[in-house]
Chains A and B, each alone.
Chain A
């Protein structure tokens, strides 16, 4: 199994508060991705990184920011959480090939 962890695994927060989710890998893979999964939508790309300090937007990037200061860590921040950001968030990593390896997910509830 790819060495990829996510923290926290579960979080409940209130509307308007900032939230940061962490993805950590031990594989030294170049690419890292953040997705959200909602019923009926599959997974939708929020942001991804193609190297340290190199990031780009995905399909649903509004309300989210990311940072990657080290190869192994990719942070997803919700500056001011809203109820529409209640979701399950998955991090994925990949190297040169198109295959992605996913973390276990973070279930976020915004009340």
Chain B
């Protein structure tokens, strides 16, 4: 059983559509990160959220941390083919320096 449940697992959409990826847990996290991974490469950090209710924006990407710090979402507006990739959330429990990853959302944006 994964500590962080990520949904959906797969998403195939047309260019210009909006989408939301969810990352949920019953545990409270001291911080949560979102990463994007291309095939054959390591994950690359997109954002870190640390405060309950926090919202961060990165161009067309909006990240939200739940008030109770148990869940997070990633919303992409007007998706583009360049957004294609595997999106991963990761949370740190307490200050124990250990990170738990969701299973990932594979996004395909068709032109």
Residues of A within 8 A of B102 (CB): 42
Residues of A within 8 A of B42 (CB): 90, 92, 102-105
Interface string of A34-55 (1 = CB under 8 A from B): 0100001111110010100000
Interface range for B:
20 to 34
Q: Are A31 and B2 in contact (CB under 8 A)?
A: no
Please name the residue on chain A nearest to B31 by beta carbon. Answer: A98
Please name the residue on chain B nearest to A40 by beta carbon. Answer: B103
Q: Are A99 and B101 in contact (CB under 8 A)?
A: no
The size of the chain A interface, using a CB distance under 8 A, is: 25
Residues of A within 8 A of B30 (CB): 98
Q: Are A99 and B97 in contact (CB under 8 A)?
A: no
Q: Are B50 and A105 in contact (CB under 8 A)?
A: no
**A98-B44 Cα distance, complex, nearest whole Å:** 13
Q: Are A101 and B45 in contact (CB under 8 A)?
A: yes
B25 at the interface (CB under 8 A from A): no
B64 at the interface (CB under 8 A from A): no
B residues bordering A, Cβ < 8 Å? 2, 4, 6, 9, 30-31, 33, 35, 40-45, 48, 50, 88, 90, 92, 97-104
